[in-house]
Structure 1
Amino acid sequence: MENITSIQNNRVKAWTKLQTKKGRQVSQTYLIDGWHLVQEAINHGGKLHAIMATQAQYDLHQAELPLGVPVFFIYDDIAKKLSDLVTPQGIFAEVSLPTANRAPQYIHDGAWLFLDAIQDPGNVGTMVRTADAAGFTGVVFGAGSVDPFAPKAIRAMQGSQFHVQIASGDLKEWITEFKRNEFVVYGTQLDPEAVDLFTIQPQTQFALVMGNEGQGMSTELAQMTSQNLYIPLAGHAESLNVGVAAGIAMFALRQR
């Protein structure tokens, strides 16, 4: 175990770079912040490269830390450097990014969520977490979507990235291949051909596309889906937050 005392330490500089997308792409790792996320990584197959903890956090969790993973003691000022929280817990881990990006032509089962240019990391984290809760197999990030491994997105996921498959790619290709593999692909779009979400029979094998917070689904994707759906609103609100809408749709469509 190495004791790190300075924010100028090279390891600290390397871990700090993981707060940026470029840093994560170069190292192929990302940073998780807080005991709950570290515990999820330990318990659900995350590949840990290092654990960084204050003495207090190490004393609390020593018995649960995995053998063979380097542990580094850090001071509170280093914890604040590594975290975007005002008062971080003081325990972190460096974890590998997913190495295998699924090819859609080889997928033949499960419920999948496709994200079309979702730009708010809080919405992204909420949707991944909700997909996990609803029993979805995976989430695919299309062009224009926020990096799912950005710190705010990771915090909002609450460890669900270890429970569902995270992929990225061209959603036109994913929709085409899913339909070829006999998936129904639902879009979320208020247009004359859209049908009430709650008239659809729950099922186990399908994809659901959620569109950008302000613009909705792209016109091209909306024209490619098997069926577009809308959520009937009983009150006077004109629309729903995309994370809320996704949650309603996922639980309504997923057969349990």
Structure 2
Amino acid sequence: MVGAMLQTRCPTRGVAVRCAGQPPQVMHISSTANQAVKHCVRLRESAKYRGETGSALICGRDLVQELAPLVAPMRALVALDGEALPENIASQRYVTVTPPVMQKLTGLGTCPPSMLAAEVALPRPADLLRTPRGQLTRVLALDGIQDAGNLGTLCRSALALGWHAVVLLPGCCDPYNDKAIKASRGAVFKLPLAQCSLEQWQQLVEAHGLVPLAAEPDRGSSSSGSSGQAAIAADQRQRGQEHGLEAPPGSLADVQRQLADLPVCLCLGAEGQGLSPAVLQRCHPVSIPQAAGGQLMESLNVAAAGAILMFALSRGAAPLLAQLVAL
């Protein structure tokens, strides 16, 4: 850990958790060859090392301050020389560094004077199978997403749109790497995340009565798309009858009511490869209608497609459409 290494290298100066009403005891690092700096670089670059140490590195003042209440106390808080340490961030260790050290530590070419970095404990994986039935009605499942930017952006959209959890199926990149944390704006620390095998995912879908949806490119009026939409519509009608709902006359309120009553698991695959056959065969395919039947553009970026589909399935769609209709 950063704190342990710092204490070993300079025991006379000491490190400590900040106490109320007392100034923090601060350690200073000026060499990029310091073992603590190498430790932070490995946290940023190696998923295996993050798993071994149970830590991740977050970079950026806004992100550090936003996540501070969720990960308190931080294992180490790092600031540039001459900059005041934030008063509202609890940390086990406080460290100041020179600009070259901060650049090495964060991997950034330049760092503003207000730059902060922090070592934080990884959150515990969510045990979604223990969640009471009915509390997970909007679940995002990612299958083989290797691009950290896309994974982080999808988590950010899921959190913003009120989705309840994210499932990472085999082949996904580490959600706590530097790029994913930044792209998610810290959402990977706020959303329940679970890494599942295909069998565990299927158990989750069955245990919570979720309708599995597979995001697929727009194929026009293909038979697979039509059959998938028909299956979803039939499920909606059945759920509506069970809850005493009348058939929708087409109003936004009725459409939204049916969607709200439909617990779903939206599955997204990697760009290019798409969803694995094992996942795809268990899902109802859905697609985003495109101009000219998809002839102008073969497909959308997975993060963009995921955001559109999550919004369409969220409670935010009808209010927005109502605003637009009223214009």
On whether the aligned pair clears a TM of 0.5, the verdict is yes
Does the C-alpha gap of structure 1 residues 164 and 46 become closer, same or farther in structure 2, counting only changes over 3 Å? farther
For residues 180-209 of structure 1, give each alpha carbon's deviation from its aligned partner in whole angstroms, at most 9, with x where no partner exists.
321222111356322469978422632111
Q: Report whether the alignment pairs 1:51 with 2:77.
A: yes
For residues 119-141 of structure 1, give each alpha carbon's deviation from its aligned partner in whole angstroms, at most 9, with x where no partner exists.
11111111011001111112111
Which of 86, 92, 114 is the equivalent residue of 1:62?
86
246-255 vs 165-174, which deviates more? 165-174
Q: Report whether the alignment pairs 1:136 with 2:160.
A: no
Q: Which has the higher contact order (CA 8 A, sep 6+)?
A: 1
1:1-256 correspondence runs (5 A): 1-19=26-44, 20-45=46-71, 48-56=74-82, 58-59=83-84, 61-66=85-90, 68-89=91-112, 90-104=115-129, 106=131, 108=133, 109-110=135-136, 111-190=138-217, 192-194=223-225, 195=228, 201-203=258-260, 205-225=263-283, 227-235=284-292, 236-256=296-316
Counterpart residue type for residue 42 of structure 1: A
- Whether the aligned pair in 2 keeps the contact of 1:189 and 1:222 (CA below 8 Å) is no
Percent identity of equivalent pairs: 31
The structure with the largest helix share of the pair is 2
Gaps of 5+ in 2: 1-25, 237-257, 317-327
2:41 partner SS: helix
Matches of 2:116 and 2:150 in 1, distance apart?
25
Matches of 1:192 and 1:9 in 2, distance apart?
62
After TM superposition, give the deviation of residue 35 of structure 1 in Å.
0.7
TM-score, length-scaled by structure 2: 0.71
For residues 113-169 of structure 1, give each alpha carbon's deviation from its aligned partner in whole angstroms, at most 9, with x where no partner exists.
110001111111110110011111121111111111111111111111232112212
Does the C-alpha gap of structure 1 residues 86 and 102 become closer, same or farther in structure 2, counting only changes over 3 Å? same
Matches of 1:196 and 1:239 in 2, distance apart?
19
Does the C-alpha gap of structure 1 residues 196 and 80 become closer, same or farther in structure 2, counting only changes over 3 Å? farther
TM-score, length-scaled by structure 1: 0.89
| CA RMSD in angstroms, aligned pairs only | 2.3
Matches of 1:173 and 1:192 in 2, distance apart?
30
Counterpart residue type for residue 47 of structure 2: K
After TM superposition, give the deviation of residue 41 of structure 1 in Å.
1.5
After TM superposition, give the deviation of residue 76 of structure 1 in Å.
0.7
After TM superposition, give the deviation of residue 16 of structure 1 in Å.
1.5
Gaps of 5+ in 1: none
After TM superposition, give the deviation of residue 91 of structure 1 in Å.
1.2
187-196 vs 25-34, which deviates more? 187-196
Over alpha carbons, which structure has the higher Rg? 2
